[in-house]
Amino acid sequence: MLMRLNDLSMFVDERGNSDATPLLFIHGFPFDHSMWRHQMSHFSAGHHVFAPDLRGHGDTREVEHRSANVTVNTLADDLITLLDSALGNQSRLTICGLSLGGYTAFELWRLIPNRIERLILADTKAAPDTPEVRERRKSQAEQVAIHGARAISDGMLDSLLAPVHRHGVVGMEVRRMIESTDPQEITRILNALATRPDSTATLPTITVPTLVIVGELDKITPLSDSRYMVQAIGNTARLAVIPEAGHLTALENPSAFNTALSNFLALYQH
């Protein structure tokens, strides 16, 4: 459904019983809510699940004008507006963010820690971009400006997915999401990624139960980043390594992802 929230018409996939525990899924870049389709169908049985399209992605549109600058903080603010509108501003919920979704989840933790009951950080990292990664993003933005999103999709598929998934159904789905993203939006979000804050100092402030998930073949945010996060968060955090998956664990190995998430949620049922 489309929800009008401040300057946005935000697409939100919302399912499940509104009395059940809310669970928010935040997608990565440059994808949309559909990357959570296996989780939405599985977890809607026991939870009130939300998977929005972030600003700049999917079917979410800026209604009046395109804001010049988008940061990870803007994306987090958009989600707070969504939560206020859908659940009220006293609600507590579980947040599951993958990659850019994880960077946004750190921002949410800094902004509304009292509303977060549990956190799932999937295929993400606390550290900011290295100078090399910033350069790569700049060159991706240049290629996209000249040739469109197709200029970067092959390279992205190689770094995002385990080899076994690159040429199958998952590869097709991921290519569709990348290539249907507006090139100007890709440029804006690349800039948001490159300028995101360092969340390293946030890790020890996380006091809620946290599940860190990572694909065993993740090349973008490898296992070492996840191990570091678990250690820095401390004893409220646990790690799940997903076999046969790269950076997009939720799509590449949904049954292992869902099992890890179900087991974690079952530990902290009300």
Which parts of this chain interact with ligand MLT (CB under 6 A)?
A: 28-29, 99-100, 193, 220, 247
Contact 115, 91 (CB under 8 A): yes
For ligand MLT, give the closer residue by CB, 112 or 250. Answer: 250
CB of 220 to ligand MLT, least distance (A): 5
Q: Which is nearer to ligand MLT, 190 or 260 (CB)?
A: 190
CA separation for the pair 33, 51 (Å, rounded): 5
Q: Could you tell me the smallest distance in angstroms from the CB atom of residue 260 to ligand MLT? A: 18
Nearest distance in Å: CB 117, ligand MLT: 24
Q: Which is nearer to ligand MLT, 159 or 236 (CB)?
A: 159
User: Closer to ligand MLT at the Cβ: 86 or 98?
Assistant: 98
Q: Which is nearer to ligand MLT, 21 or 249 (CB)?
A: 249
The contacts of residue 207 (CB under 8 Å, 6+ apart) are 113, 236
Least CB distance from residue 59 to ligand MLT, whole Å? 18
CA 123, chain centre distance (Å): 9
How far is residue 255's CA from residue 74's CA, in Å, rounded to a whole number?
Answer: 32
Three-state SS annotation for 153-200: HHHHHHHHCCHHHCCCHHHHHHHHHHHCCCHHHHHHHHHHHHCCCCCH
Q: Cα(181)–Cα(170) distance, rounded to whole angstroms?
A: 17
Tell me how far, at minimum, the Cβ of 17 lies from ligand MLT, in Å.
30
